[in-house]
A and B are shown apart, each in its own frame.
Chain A
Amino acid sequence: MSETDEVIQEFLIESTESLDRLDVDLMALEDDAAPEKRIANIFRAVHTIKGTSGFLSFPKVEALAHVGENLLSRLRDGVLSPTPEIVSALLAMADALRGFLSHVETTGTEGPAAHDQLVALLSQLASQENLPQAPIAVQFVATKANEAEDAHPAEAFDEGRSGPLADTSIRVQVGLLDKLMNLVGELVLARNQILQCAAGNEDSTLLGATQRLNLLTTELQEGIMKTRMQPIGSIWSKFPRVVRELARACGKDVELEMVGKDTDLDRSIIEAIKDPLTHIVRNSIDHGIEKPERRLSAGKRQAGTLKMHAFHEGGKVNIEISDDGGGIDPVRVRAKAVERGVVTPDRAARMTDRELVNLIFLPGFSTAEAVSNVSGRGVGMDVVRTNIERIGGTVDVQSQTGAGAIVRIKIPLTLAIIPALIVTASGERYAIPQVSLVELVRLDGSESRGGIETIHGTSLLRLRGNLLPLVYLGTLLGGSKAPAEHAEINVVVLQTDERRFGLVVDSIVDTEEIVVKPLGRELKRVSVFAGATIMGDGRLALILDVLGIAQSANVISEARDRALKAASQVAMTAIEEPAALLLFRTIDGRRMAIPLGLVARLEEIEPDTIEHAGSDRVVQYRGDILPLMCPPFRADASSVVFSQDISLQVIVCSEDGRHLGLVVGEILDIGEEVVSSREVRRGAVPVAIVQGRVTELLDLSTLRAVPDSSFRQPSKLLEFH
């Protein structure tokens, strides 16, 4: 089946279904005391049919749906009320649409039917407030039109629905698939037990049967899994065409970029995000990306870029749709919101730009100046949010006026299958999503003691010169306070939010594809877990939330932020919070400290690798030139003579991409500053009490002030040569 055929098939199945629901809603409309919700449903259904048929080039369907939509939007706005006449006309419209659809299904074209009368009637109803005559005639005209003009009368239509479409696909309740999947999981466990029992048996019939059971179960399991998972590419495949045609219709030049096509999503999620994605794409092209002339005059490329990006992160599926168009103007949004009575002027005045921009998700909100055929009825973003929140997701928009907007959708993984690393800590198994995994490090005996610095409960691992904060999983989860002395130490290096840390676990078991199951609501608060999964033996293992761990261990975000903050405050006079400091002894025996945030690596270098550049001493380091300095910085510092026999301890500091190597006598410890006196008096040395001892603080501002300081960009150093 070609791609286009596939799209058309989907359109037919969906439209037929929504027309059936529309019938029910229409019939109920007359009796409904509060019909707003039903009208909104009907409106959305017709809106979707109109939109899709427009892309697929079924102009008659589109035209009919368009007039229907006009009428419905008046109903929605409360200008008209759903009288029997209107309902009849809408029912007739639904019938006529069905006629078109069945024709499309059998012949691939819309057929000769025009339904001019019906179109005229719908327009008339929409434009008048006094309702016209003859509802029965309407029904009659429409039905007659159907029969007379449609080459395939009602029977053919019915046949069509139970025929070709039903042969290739059926719709199954997701709940049923869930249940099947759970049952298959249990079957796998039962199978495992039987296999174990049969292993010691010599009955060949039994062995044969278990063998078959084994294979069948595996296949069944794979099959059930597959029924639920789909790469997002399966719905993205229609977007290049949608974008192209939409861009043409709007007279714009748009390039579509898609990243992460093979991100697997649960079937139910795919279904639920299809419409929202289409709406967002439409909005981006219609409202976001400017016309070529305007882009050029704004100094942008003529062609706008629309980027769709899908990825798994933090146990969620993330989809980002960004454009480099004009963005959303918060001022216009505010004006519109007030005009429509969505928010009070008072409240609107207090809202931040970001809050304002997110108002576009409210029902009935649209900033388009003119109602276009593509969007601008204020139905799109409202549908987007409804659909995404229904599956427990969130949607957020960020915009920069003039530079573009980005819509971020986050959907829970719930049933998505993810690869995970299984580890143990304190006798329990835990699963770590592999997305966050960087590498595994195993430290044996002496290495483990040498590589890890443990001070005041804060542990750091020197890993290839990098300082990696360590978190002991067992301790974090309330195990023993002092991590047991193991002969070997397993470190799982994880990355989250651009930051790395090492998770120390008791052992590393294996990698496995796991099915994420959400925890009960009473456990949602425990942020270190993202869910649980059922292991091969039927027992449960908790899935670790890497971000949650980083936050609750305070190692990553806060400590680092703190260190960075400390670094930036060193130049100032005071620090509110205690800063993590790296303590060292200088070559001449002083005790000094430097903010940990500035420390990039700890290195040992051989004295014979030191070269000279002018009065500076440098080493070649990772393809760069690293200037060496010898604290404390004094005029005679460069005269310090290094011993040629022992390797030198060097603290590699980096700030703003500049590097500097501090040659020190000994690296002592890591500690927190307790009391500091750093009133910048001329000539005074900033000191602090660290671990009960007065310690000089190495101030980088001093460092920069040193006249012959080499603390500058490595590239500039080349000038010395």
Chain B
Amino acid sequence: MVTQFCTFNVGNLLFGVDVVLVQEVMRYQEMTRVPLASPMIRGIINLRGQLVTAVDMRRRLGLPEAPEGSLPMNVIVRREDDAISLLVDEIGDVIDVSAEALERPPETLMGTARELIKAVCQLEGALLLVLDAQQITSVADTERAA
């Protein structure tokens, strides 16, 4: 069985999300900051009249901040009743991965990444980290305290 993944870069890592869950991919969108919200939430964007929360993937994954002035791209991921935007550095290709090529994430992987990464796949010259859509789209309230 072959799964298609929408890939994108955050920091120097390559991530993938099941393409079925991706509503659309957009260049940088102007955001409205939401004061007092979790720092992971960069703001809200107006997606053709739909209100979408934008999550900074660097902060979500515990990676260093993006260089000053760089504009993140939006990967809009569908949820049950709405959508959420993942702010990433760069959008990659949609790639086909067969189920056999997917491996369990290494046990040594720690912290936030451990919960978010569902599987890994060795590509030529890169390691694809498959994100758990369920986890990645739920930015719980408690995370601010953590």
Q: Report if A and B associate in a common complex.
A: yes
Q: Name the distance in Å between B97's Cβ and chain A's nearest Cβ.
A: 29
Contact of B82 among A181, A520, A538 (CB under 8 A): A520
Interface 9-residue window, one of A280-288, A499-507, A539-547: A539-547
**Nearest A-chain residue to B45, judged by Cβ:** A540
For B52, the chain A residues whose CB sits under 8 A away are 520
Minimum distance in angstroms from A291 CB to a CB of chain B: 48
In the docked arrangement, what's the CA distance between A18 and B30, Å?
47
Given the complex, which residues of B lie within 8 Å of A478, measured CB to CB? 35-36
Task: State whether the Cβ of B94 lies closer than 8 Å to any Cβ in chain A.
Answer: no
User: Which residue of chain A lies nearest to B141 when distances are taken between CB atoms in the complex?
Assistant: A525
Q: Is the CB of B32 within 8 A of A522?
A: no
Question: Whose C-beta in chain A lies nearest to the C-beta of B50?
Answer: A182
Known: A477-B35, A478-B36, A523-B41. A532 touches B48 (CB 8 A): no
Is B44 a contact of A540 with CB atoms below 8 Å? yes
Cα separation A428 to B36 with both chains bound (whole Å): 14
Question: Complex: how many Å from CA A182 to CA B52?
Answer: 13
The listed residue (B32, B38, B84) touching A540 by CB distance below 8 A is: B32
**What count of chain B residues pass the 8 Å CB interface test?**
25
A534 within 8 A of B: yes
Interface-centre pick from A521, A528, A529 (highest chain B CB count, 10 A): A521
Tally of chain A residues near chain B (CB < 8 A): 29
Which of chain B's residues have a CB closer than 8 A to the CB of A529? 34
> 1/0 per position for A237-274, CB-CB distance to B under 8 A?
00000000000000000000000000000000000000
State A2–B51 Cα separation when bound (angstroms): 42
Within 8 A of A (CB), among B24-62: 30, 32-38, 41, 44-46, 48-53, 55
| A534 contact set on B, CB distance < 8 A | 46, 49
Flag if B32 contacts A428 (CB, 8 Å).
Answer: yes
Interface pairs A-B: 9 shortest CB-CB: A182-B49, A477-B35, A520-B53, A540-B32, A522-B139, A525-B141, A185-B49, A517-B51, A478-B35
CB contacts (< 8 Å) of B55 on chain A: these are 522
The residue of chain B having its C-beta at the shortest distance from the C-beta of A552 within the complex is B36
B36 touches A522 (CB 8 A): no
Contact assessment for A538 and B46 in the assembled complex, using a CB-CB cutoff below 8 Å: yes
With A and B bound together, what is the CA distance between A538 and B50 in angstroms?
Answer: 11
A519-B49 in contact given A477-B36, A526-B37, A542-B34 (Cβ < 8 Å): no
CB of B115 to closest CB in A, whole Å: 16
Q: Which of A588-605 contact B (CB under 8 A)?
A: none
Distance of A528 Cα from B34 Cα, bound (Å) = 10
State how many angstroms separate the Cβ of A593 from the closest Cβ of chain B. Answer: 34
CA distance A100 to B138 in the complex (A): 53
A residues lining the B interface (CB < 8 Å): 181-183, 185-186, 426, 428, 477-479, 517-526, 528-529, 532, 534, 538-542
- Cβ of A186 and Cβ of B48 under 8 Å apart? yes
Flag if A522 contacts B38 (CB, 8 Å). yes
| Separation of A23 and B31 alpha carbons in the complex (Å) | 50
B110 within 8 A of A: no
Please name 17 further chain A to chain B contacts, defined as beta carbons within 8 Å, in addition to the given A183-B49, A518-B51, A522-B37, sorted by A numbering.
A182-B48, A185-B49, A428-B35, A519-B34, A522-B41, A522-B53, A522-B55, A522-B84, A522-B138, A524-B141, A526-B36, A526-B37, A532-B32, A532-B44, A534-B49, A539-B30, A540-B46
In Å, the complex CA distance between A106 and B54 comes to 56
Establish whether residues A520 and B33, one from each chain, have CB atoms under 8 Å apart when the complex forms: no
* B32 engages A186 (CB within 8 Å): no
A539 and B49 contact, Cβ closer than 8 Å, known pairs A522-B41, A523-B37? no
In the complex the two chains form, is A539's CB within 8 Å of B84's CB?
no
- Indicate if B146 sits at the interface (CB-CB under 8 A): no
CB atoms of B35 and A519 under 8 A apart = no
Nearest residue (CB) in B for A529 is B34
Q: Which residues on the A side are within 8 Å of B48 (C-beta)?
A: 182-183, 186
Question: Which of A186, A522, A542 is the one whose CB lies under 8 Å from B140?
Answer: A522
Which of B35, B37, B138 has most A Cβ within 10 Å?
B35
Residues of B contacting A181 with CB < 8 Å?
A: 49
Are B46 and A520 in touch, CB under 8 angstroms? no
Inter-chain CA distance A538–B48, complex, in Å, is 9
In the complex, A521 Cα to B140 Cα: how many Å? Answer: 9
Q: Which of B36, B48, B141 has the most CB of A within 10 A?
A: B36
Chain A residues with Cβ under 8 A from B34's Cβ? 519, 523, 526, 529, 542
Provide the residues of chain A in CB contact with B49, threshold 8 Å: 181-183, 185-186, 534
Min CB–CB distance A41 → chain B (angstroms): 24
- Chain A residues near B35 (CB, 8 Å)? 426, 428, 477-479, 526, 528
Closest residue of chain A to B138 (Cβ to Cβ) is A522
Docked Cα-Cα span, A262 to B146, in Å, equals 47
The answer for the CA separation of A314 and B32 in the assembled complex, in Å, is: 23
Quote the shortest CB–CB distance from A396 to chain B (angstroms): 25
A532 to chain B minimum Cβ distance, whole angstroms, is 6
B51→A520 contact, CB < 8 A: yes
Q: Which residues of A contact B139 (CB under 8 A)?
A: 522
Chain B residue numbers with a CB within 8 Å of A542 are: 32, 34, 44
- Give chain B nearest CB distance to A389 CB in angstroms: 16
Encoded as 1 (CB less than 8 Å from any A CB) or 0, chain B from 3 to 43 comes to 00000000000000000000000000010111111100100
**Min CB gap B118→A, angstroms:** 20
- Cβ–Cβ < 8 Å partners of A522 in chain B: 37-38, 41, 53, 55, 84, 138-141
> Measured between C-beta atoms, what is the minimum distance from A657 to chain B in Å?
39
Of B41, B45, B46, B139, the most chain A CB neighbours within 10 A belong to B46
- The answer to whether B141 and A519 have CB atoms under 8 Å apart is no
CA distance A534 to B45 in the complex (A): 10
Alpha-carbon gap, A448 to B84, bound state (A): 44
Instruction: Looking at the assembled complex, report how far the CB atom of B56 sits from the nearest CB atom of chain A, in whole angstroms.
Output: 12
Query: Within the assembled complex, what's the spacing in Å between the Cα atoms of A540 and B34?
Result: 10
Query: Complex: how many Å from CA A540 to CA B52?
Result: 11
CA A520 to CA B82, docked complex, whole Å: 8
A477 to B34, CA, bound (A): 9
Q: How far is the CB of A511 from chain B (nearest CB, A)?
A: 20
Query: Which A residues touch B33, using CB under 8 A?
Result: 428
Q: Which residues of chain B are near A182, meaning CB under 8 Å?
A: 48-50
